[in-house]
């Protein structure tokens, strides 16, 4: 999306894996490479690329870097920034710069860290050096069935409080379960009010022990049942359901607003109660699927776009949910990035002095404000150094 017009550039042909350096556990890739393709390219050698947004079948590593994407397994492994060693960027001023690099090549300012999550406002990412991890010895996936989302949220808190760090800890509510079962048929029990998908990985003995403890904690928090995936096929099916959850909602609603916000995970039970209250207050159906271990919520607010009143109620609920997350100490975005939609919301979270510092930093890379204008930073005049890119003059009929 180019909110104020301009040139759009696609990286979908820049899909090469330029180097796989197993000795140094890294790879150099072009930005258009699809996330999952990298893991496929290194799996036979026993490695994987850890950031796994649920969109990993279609999203690019350049996009993951630019939004600093998270994903189900980022609970244990960290988000994209923890796996990017170096970047090549063509900045807004036309310089082709190299930031960071392989592990021995990363002294001075950590500009790679600064540039991850810049959402294209510094320039175009044209090359990425990423960390590769060794695949774990054992993986176990458990499905905990709960009567209510409240009980499942309490189980999440209990697992984390017990010092267990699952590779992934995902929650799905009854609305999502029914949609997935009608579509993908992943084997989620339709009678459950909520399910927890818990994945443990690591050395075999540790995985066995933590799986038993996690199952016991679920039972102690009122789980109706706890099931363990019997083989790789069953495990893959459970994950297929989770990763296609948003698509499955299309079966039950013509449209949905997908909110992405985060709260401290200790506040999970509280925010889930809030979400349910907001949904009831605005009379909108909300489907919940989220990275529970990170406190990262994704309420999908269903509405019919042919009904303006329903759309207005969905937007009001969306806004209230965001504010509720911030009031509980959370953030305007959990992982999807700020983009255009949330640029103005940054002011809910940052002081003017913080935002002004970001404006100045941006100018270092992109003095004329050419790169992704209108994204990430608010244009509100309350920010002393508001950075409005000049509106480009476009030929008639130009594609924006």
295 counts as binding ligand FAD under rule CB under 6 A: no
- DSSP category for residue 49: -
**Alpha carbons 61 and 131: distance in angstroms, whole number:** 12
The tokens for 291 are: 């990275």
Choose, by CB under 6 A, the member of 6, 26, 59, 345 that binds ligand FAD.
59
Choose, by CB under 6 A, the member of 26, 48, 49, 54 that binds ligand FAD.
54
- DSSP category for residue 54: T
Q: Are 60 and 75 in contact (CB under 8 A)?
A: no
**Residue 54 or residue 259: which is nearer to ligand FAD going by CB?**
54
**Residue 130 or residue 218: which is nearer to ligand FAD going by CB?**
130
- Inter-axis angle of helices 149-161 and 204-220, to 10 degrees? 140
Give the closest residue to 32 by CA, choosing from 133, 99, 129, 127.
Answer: 127
Choose, by CB under 6 A, the member of 42, 55, 164, 389 that binds ligand FAD.
55
**Residue 124 or residue 275: which is nearer to ligand FAD going by CB?**
124
**Residue 119 or residue 154: which is nearer to ligand FAD going by CB?**
119
**Residue 11 or residue 349: which is nearer to ligand FAD going by CB?**
11
129 counts as binding ligand FAD under rule CB under 6 A: no
Residue-wise over 35-59: b if at least 16 C-beta within 10 A, else e? bbbbbebbeeeebbbbbbbbbbeeb
294 counts as binding ligand FAD under rule CB under 6 A: no
C-alpha dist (Å) from residue 27 to 126, 236, 376: 14, 26, 28
11 counts as binding ligand FAD under rule CB under 6 A: yes
64 counts as binding ligand FAD under rule CB under 6 A: yes
Q: How many CB atoms lie within 10 A of CB 381?
A: 8
**Of all residues in this chain, which one has the CB nearest to ligand FAD in the complex?**
63
63 counts as binding ligand FAD under rule CB under 6 A: yes
Per-residue binding string, ligand FAD, 15-44, x by CB under 6 A, is ----------------x-------------
Per-residue binding string, ligand FAD, 242-271, x by CB under 6 A, is ----x-------------------------
**Residue 211 or residue 343: which is nearer to ligand FAD going by CB?**
343
**48-56, 173-181, 217-225, 385-393 -> range binding ligand FAD (CB under 6 A):** 48-56
**58-66, 176-184, 281-289, 322-330 -> range binding ligand FAD (CB under 6 A):** 58-66
In the numeric block, the tokens 């550039």 are attached to 9
Alpha-carbon radius of gyration of the chain: 22
**63-71, 132-140, 208-216, 390-398 -> range binding ligand FAD (CB under 6 A):** 63-71
**Residue 11 or residue 157: which is nearer to ligand FAD going by CB?**
11
**Alpha carbons 88 and 100: distance in angstroms, whole number:** 9
Backbone angles phi, psi at 17, to 5 degrees: -90, 110
H-only helix segments in the chain? 35-42, 61-67, 74-77, 111-115, 149-161, 174-183, 204-220, 232-243, 245-248, 268-281, 308-327, 352-365
**Residue 211 or residue 288: which is nearer to ligand FAD going by CB?**
288
Q: Interaction with ligand FAD in 369-398: which residues (CB under 6 A)? A: 372, 375
**36-44, 197-205, 299-307, 334-342 -> range binding ligand FAD (CB under 6 A):** 334-342
């Amino acid at each position: 999306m180019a909110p104020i017009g301009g040139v759009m550039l696609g990286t979908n042909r820049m899909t090469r894996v330029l180097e796989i350096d197993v000795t140094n556990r890294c790879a150099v890739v072009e930005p258009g490479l699809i996330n999952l393709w990298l893991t496929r390219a290194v799996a036979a050698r026993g490695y994987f690329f850890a950031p796994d947004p649920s969109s990993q079948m279609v999203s690019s590593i350049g996009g993951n870097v630019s939004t600093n994407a998270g994903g189900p397994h980022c609970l244990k492994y960290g988000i994209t920034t923890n796996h990017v060693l170096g970047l090549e960027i063509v900045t807004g001023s036309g310089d082709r710069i190299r930031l960071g690099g392989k592990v021995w090549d990363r002294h001075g300012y950590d500009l790679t860290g600064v540039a991850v999550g810049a959402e294209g406002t510094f320039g175009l990412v044209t090359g990425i050096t990423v960390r590769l991890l060794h695949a774990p010895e054992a993986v176990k996936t458990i499905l905990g069935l709960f009567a209510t989302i409240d009980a499942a949220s309490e189980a999440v808190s209990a697992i984390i409080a017990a010092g267990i760090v699952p590779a992934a800890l995902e929650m799905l509510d009854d609305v999502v379960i029914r949609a997935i079962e009608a579509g993908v048929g992943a084997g989620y029990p339709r009678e459950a009010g909520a399910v927890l998908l818990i994945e443990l990985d690591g050395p075999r003995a540790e995985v066995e022990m933590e799986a038993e403890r996690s199952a016991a904690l679920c039972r102690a928090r009122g789980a109706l049942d706890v099931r363990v995936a019997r083989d790789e096929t069953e495990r893959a099916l459970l994950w297929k359901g989770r990763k296609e959850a948003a698509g499955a909602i299309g079966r039950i609603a013509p449209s949905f607003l997908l909110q992405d916000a985060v709260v401290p995970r200790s506040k999970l039970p509280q925010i889930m109660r809030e979400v349910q209250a907001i949904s009831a207050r605005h009379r909108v159906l909300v489907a919940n699927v989220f990275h529970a271990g990170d406190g990262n919520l994704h309420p999908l607010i269903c509405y019919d776009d042919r009904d303006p009143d329903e759309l207005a109620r969905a937007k009001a609920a969306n806004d209230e949910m965001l504010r509720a997350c911030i009031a509980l100490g959370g953030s305007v975005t959990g992982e999807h990035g700020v983009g255009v939609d949330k640029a103005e919301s940054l002011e809910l979270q940052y002081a003017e002095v913080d935002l002004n510092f970001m404006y100045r930093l941006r100018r270092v890379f992109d003095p004329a404000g050419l790169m992704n204008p209108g994204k990430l930073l608010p244009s509100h005049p309350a920010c002393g150094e508001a950075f409005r890119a000049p509106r480009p003059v476009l030929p008639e009929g130009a594609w924006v």
